[in-house]
Amino acid sequence: MTRARVSAVAATVALVQACGGSSPSAPTPTPTPQPTPAPPIVAAQISRTLSAGYHFPNTINTTRNGTLTVQLNWTSAANKMVLGVATSACTVDAYHSFTCSFLAMDGGLAATPTKTLTVPNLAPAPTWSS
């Protein structure tokens, strides 16, 4: 008698699970597609020969919100380069007296011939200096 009750309970549970249970299934929501980001704009590509200790400012004008990425490439990793993005023109004297206002800076001495700085959520401004 005990076997029959256990079998009946097991069969009932199996049937309820096979039918999806007693609660109705919720519809699967349709995912909202993400907007396609605007293509990057190349503001400047500059090639220069620099001497040791040389300071090369470059002014960048932005016209829309977005992420500013500045990349510096050079031929020899033995040469140490500093890359920064300032809120206004940064002279050599201002840099050495620590009075430049930088949004981002990479002054590391890693032995690599590339430095990349990224400034996210940058609002349009008349000029940025790198």
* 77-126 pLDDT tens trace: 788 888 888 887 788 888 888 888 888 888 887 777 888 888 888 877 65
Weakest mean pLDDT among 21-30, 31-40, 59-68, 106-115? 21-30
Most confident by average pLDDT, 25-29, 31-35, 38-42, 125-129:
31-35
Are 115 and 81 in contact by the 8 Å Cβ rule? The answer is yes
Query: Which residues are within 8 A (CB) of 66 and not within 5 positions of it... i.e. 6 or more apart?
Result: 38, 122
And the tokens for 75? Answer: 């031929």
Compute the average pLDDT of residues 44-68: 78
Using the structure block, give the residue that is written with the tokens 């000029």. Answer: 127
pLDDT score at 7? 36
